Structures are given as C-alpha cells and as structure tokens.
Amino acid sequence: MYCLGHTSFVTCLVMCGERLVSSSGDGTIKLWNVLSGECLCTVLCESGQFVHKIVFDSATSTLACLLSSSPAIMVMSVREDSLVDVRMKELSGPGLGLCLFKSGLLVFQDCKSQPLLLLPINTEQISEEDDLRRSLNHISTDVTNRWSDFEHAHRLLTEFYSGLVKVNIENVEERKSNKEKRKHSKPESSDEIDNHLKSVKADGN
C-alpha cells in the first residue's frame, strides 16, 4: 500500500478532524488535506525509525506515535495545516501497542518489570482512581507472570517490518529494471496489442 508523497509502505492512516495523517516505512509522518490531496506538512522520525502505531486525541488535538524500535513515543499537536510542538516521551522499552485510555496514553512496552505504562497526553500528571491503578497493576502483574508469551513480540514485529523493507527495496529495483527494458524494447504494433488482448480475454473465459 502506497500513499501520495511516501516512498515506502504505509503503516498507519488516521483521521484528525478534517485532516488525514499517514506514516510510512520511509520514516515520515504526513498531514493531508483529504479533499485536495495536498500534503500540508511532513515530520521526519529519528534516523532509522518509523511509526507503526498512531492515536489521535480529538479533545486536545494531540497525535501520539509509537516508533518502530526506539523506547519512546513521539507526541505532537495537530493544527489546521501543520504538526507542531513535537516532543518525545521516554519508555522503559520499545513500544508494542498504544491506545487512548481515560485521560492518558496506555502503552504496552517491551519491559518485563513494567509492561503497561499510563502516560499523560499533555499534562504532567494523570488523575488515577484507586480502582484504575489496582486494575492496571493487576494486569501488569499477570503479563509479567506470562512474559514468555510476549518476550519475542518485539523481535517478531521488527522482523515483519524488515521483511516489508526488503520487499520494498526489491520492488524498486524490479521497477527500475522493467523501466530500462521498456526503454530499449521495440514498441508493439496495434495488431500485436489486439492479439494480446484477445488471448488474455480467451484465457479469462
């Protein structure tokens, strides 16, 4: 899957009000005008990184992006035609999952001692109820006790995207090769094209 302006596979598409945000294996995050198809803004991830999960909080117009292998989340504000105030929230390990939860960001991270982490979106503190804190601690303890089921999750995720990168590179080389062949090949006559279309139609029947 490719999107206008990206040079590699698309990892996420998220509507942010009347705007669309896309991320790609090329390491960019782009803000789009969905009516005109115009790219309004591009943010570049850290070198060698790309986003594999995006969530948007409409209440604060905030975008949170989980990076492919860095123990951090990119957070930014969505404006009419730009992505601004880009900042990083550090994790204890590479992120595996991300969602909006209560007044913050619930992160599933590659960290056995603390697999679940609740981070604030825009404020320094989250008002956690005792029941919520106990529930999160209970789930974290359960995940930690069953860590053998999750310990290879990040490696598998990395291998999956590495495979996409490899396929993407091979596809680029194949397209270049085919383009060169077409440049040096003899143009087909109209009769040859007609015969080819007839044979394709016959095969389809």
Domain presence at residue 56: yes
CB 44, CB 27: distance < 8 Å: yes
Distance CA 158, CA 116 (A): 20
pLDDT in tens, 147-192: 888 877 767 776 766 666 655 555 555 656 665 666 666 555 556 6
CB 181, CB 174: distance < 8 Å: no
39/47: higher pLDDT: 39
Domain presence at residue 103: yes
Domain presence at residue 204: no
Highest averaged pLDDT of the listed ranges 44-53, 73-82, 97-106, 156-165: 73-82
* Listed residue (124, 121, 81) closest to 103, CA to CA: 121
89/122: higher pLDDT: 89
Ranges of H-type helices in 51-146: 130-145
Distance CA 70, CA 157 (A): 13
The domain in which residue 147 lies consists of 10-155
196/74: higher pLDDT: 74
Highest averaged pLDDT of the listed ranges 4-8, 56-60, 158-162, 192-196: 56-60
Say yes or no to pLDDT of 1 above 50. no
pLDDT at 146: 86
* CATH assignment at residue 31: 2.130.10.10
CB 81, CB 40: distance < 8 Å: yes
Q: Count up the domains in the chain and report the number.
A: 1
Domain presence at residue 164: no
Domain presence at residue 107: yes
* Listed residue (63, 92, 137, 54) closest to 128, CA to CA: 137
